[in-house]
């Protein structure tokens, strides 16, 4: 599903001093326009670490069926498209600097990032700006990356669950590119036909000022960052031939459905339940999504796991998470169970969601999520350049072209989470797990008769 999950990283900082909690921001940071490019600076108390990221609105979203996967191949090629890397690869160029870098394509975004010691800030910024604005394509690199992507796609196909993920996208979205985002077989076919010319044209079309957001998370002073960024972007004559703009639009199929995908060799049956939700980044309840999913699924004291695993011994785990993009939000529940229990698990899962749409959760459950949030914030968020980026990047990216943006700061989120009431949790569960348009996809040996009219 190309779901970017939250990963909680440990920092090993031994600082006991009272660090200025800059990342908490009493006022949301703002996008600065420099030579027409959007730059977001996220000051952190960590002076010695810098993370530079360029995120783009697009990903699979912008593709047609005939182009399925082009943005993924382009992502591979662009991350090596720095002239300074020379004949050697960029990996060899960066080796001695000890940096970390990577690029990603998701259902609706692309991202290119590099993280390293702040003493290499100039070099890292030059790399990211150059590959974004002046990518240098070589046939040799394209051929290498085509082989790498071919291997990557084949490895996904080796895992039968690619069909489950593909069915989710095909039946959840209306936008062609999103529907083919997990169709690895189609992408493999298209991959073989893609040429250097196609990649250059696609890059010209969609890597534009309107879709591109530079994010710098660092302790380096702002004026130094801006002047360097200004110099690097000044002389660029990028031919922005296409003026495509990603905007928020209705892109869910909105049909209540259950689908079976046969996998004769499966041991367990995997179930994914999706709830489309018209909730965007500027919604007053957006900031609660993650917290409510944690109450519903995840660890042992979540509502689903407590009942399905501890009480009924039907599953090992049940995860629940939400993603948001220009279509709105999608709430997922993901469960694996024995074939004989499919119906029971489905019935129980919907029953639990329905029950807590009407009934209040316990005081302990409410206290747990509030305290967990506090712990998470003080342990990780205030120190980690990656998490600060993760917290703000999507909020800014998806509202980049809006006249008015609603950006939640970590401080605001914390205030809202600590102020959560049982009643609010109940109302959110009712909103998020509305079965009116829910999609159920399950994969295993056995097809069951399950009447979705009863949920």
* Binding region for Zn ion (CB under 5 A): 152
Shortest spacing between CB 152 and Zn ion, in angstroms? 5
Residue with nearest beta carbon to Zn ion = 152
Cα distances (angstroms) measured from residue 144 to each of 149, 150, 357: 9, 10, 52
Using the minimum distance from each CB to Zn ion, give the nearer residue, 150 or 372: 150
Least spacing, CB of residue 219 vs Zn ion, in Å:
31
Q: Running DSSP on this structure, what letter comes out for residue 8?
A: P
Q: What token pair was written down for 229?
A: 């960024």
Backbone angles phi, psi at 112, to 5 degrees: -130, 120
Residue 152 vs 434, nearer CB to Zn ion: 152
The minimum distance between CB 79 and Zn ion, in angstroms, equals: 10
**Rounded distance between C-alpha atoms, residue 270 and residue 346, angstroms:** 11
SS3 for 273? Answer: strand
Measured from the CB of residue 395, what is the shortest distance to Zn ion in angstroms? 25
Shortest Cβ distance from residue 183 to Zn ion (Å)? 15
In the complex with Zn ion, the residue whose CB is nearer, 152 or 390, is 152
145 vs 294, beta carbon nearer Zn ion: 145
Torsion of CA 395, 398, 403, 409, to 10 degrees: 0
Element (H, E) at 374: helix 363-376
**Which of 135, 140, 132, 150 shows the shortest CA–CA distance to 193?**
150
In the block, residue with structure tokens 């097809």: 447
Residues in contact with 185: Cβ distance below 8 Å, sequence separation at least 6, in sequence order: 157
**What token pair was written down for 263?**
């996998």
Q: How far is the CB of 149 from Zn ion (least distance, A)?
A: 6
Give whichever of 150 and 152 is closer to Zn ion, judged by the CB atom.
152
Starting at the edge strand found earlier in the chain, the sheet holding 269-277 runs: 257-262, 439-444, 269-277, 328-337, 315-325
For the CB of residue 7, give the shortest distance to Zn ion in the complex, in Å. 18
Calculate the CA dihedral of residues 381, 387, 388, 390 and round it to 10 degrees: -140
| CA dihedral for 429, 432, 435, 436, sign (positive or negative) | positive
Q: Are strands 328-337 and 269-277 parallel, antiparallel or unpaired?
A: antiparallel
- Give least dist CB 80 to Zn ion, A: 12
71 Cβ contact partners less than 8 Å away, ≥ 6 residues apart: 58, 59, 60, 62, 63, 105, 110, 202, 206
Q: How far is the CB of 359 from Zn ion (least distance, A)?
A: 45
Longest alpha-carbon distance in the chain: 65
How distant is the alpha carbon of residue 343 from its chain centre?
A: 31
Q: Comparing C-alpha atoms, which of 263, 295, 283, 264 is closest to residue 372?
A: 295
Nearer to Zn ion, 109 or 319 (CB): 109
Q: Which is nearer to Zn ion, 169 or 307 (CB)?
A: 169
**CB neighbours of residue 8 within 10 Å:** 11
Nearer to Zn ion, 2 or 427 (CB): 2
* Residue (2 or 201) nearer to Zn ion, CB: 2
Q: Which is nearer to Zn ion, 2 or 435 (CB)?
A: 2
Q: Can you name the residues that pair with 110 across neighbouring β-strands?
A: 56, 105
Q: How far is the CB of 147 from Zn ion (least distance, A)?
A: 12
């Amino acid at each position: 599903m190309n779901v970017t999950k939250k990963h909680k990283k440990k920092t090993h900082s031994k600082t006991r001093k009272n660090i200025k909690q800059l990342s908490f921001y009493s006022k949301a940071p703002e996008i600065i326009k420099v030579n027409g490019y959007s730059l977001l600076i996220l000051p952190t108390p960590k002076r010695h670490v810098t993370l530079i990221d360029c995120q783009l609105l697009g990903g699979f979203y912008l593709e047609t069926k005939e182009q399925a996967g082009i943005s993924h191949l382009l992502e591979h090629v662009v991350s090596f498209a720095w002239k300074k890397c020379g004949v050697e690869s960029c990996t060899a160029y960066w080796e001695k600097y000890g940096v970390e870098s990577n690029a990603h394509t998701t259902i609706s975004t692309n991202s290119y990032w590099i993280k390293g010691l702040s003493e290499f800030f100039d070099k890292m910024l030059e790399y990211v700006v150059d590959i974004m604005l002046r990518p240098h394509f070589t046939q040799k690199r394209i051929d290498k990356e085509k082989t790498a992507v071919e291997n990557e796609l084949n490895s996904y196909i080796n895992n039968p669950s690619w069909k489950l993920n593909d069915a989710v996208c095909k039946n959840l979205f209306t936008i062609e590119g999103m529907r083919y985002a997990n169709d690895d077989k189609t992408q493999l076919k298209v991959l073989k036909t893609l040429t250097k010319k196609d990649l250059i044209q696609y890059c010209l079309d969609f890597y534009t000022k309107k879709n591109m957001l530079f994010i710098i998370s660092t302790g380096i002073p702002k004026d130094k960052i801006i002047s360097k960024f200004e110099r690097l972007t000044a002389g660029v004559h990028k031919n922005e031939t296409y003026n495509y703009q990603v905007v928020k639009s209705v892109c869910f199929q909105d049909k209540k459905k259950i689908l079976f995908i046969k996998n004769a060799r499966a041991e367990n049956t995997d179930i994914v339940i999706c709830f489309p939700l018209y909730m965007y980044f500027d919604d007053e309840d957006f900031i609660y999504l993650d917290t409510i999913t944690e109450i519903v699924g995840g660890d042992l004291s979540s509502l689903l796991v407590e009942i399905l695993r501890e009480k009924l011994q039907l599953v090992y785990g049940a995860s629940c998470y939400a993603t948001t993009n220009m279509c709105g939000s999608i709430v997922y529940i993901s469960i694996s169970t024995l074939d004989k229990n499919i119906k029971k698990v489905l019935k129980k899962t919907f029953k639990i969601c329905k029950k807590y749409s009407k009934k209040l959760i316990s005081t302990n459950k409410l206290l747990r999520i509030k305290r967990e949030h506090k712990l998470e914030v003080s342990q990780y968020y205030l120190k980690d350049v990656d998490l600060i980026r993760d917290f703000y990047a999507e909020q800014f990216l998806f509202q980049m072209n809006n006249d008015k943006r609603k950006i939640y700061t970590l401080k605001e989120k914390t205030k809202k989470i600590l102020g959560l009431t049982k009643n609010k949790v109940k109302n959110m569960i009712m909103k998020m797990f509305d079965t009116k348009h829910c999609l159920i996809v399950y994969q295993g040996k056995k097809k069951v008769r399950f009447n979705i009219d009863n949920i």
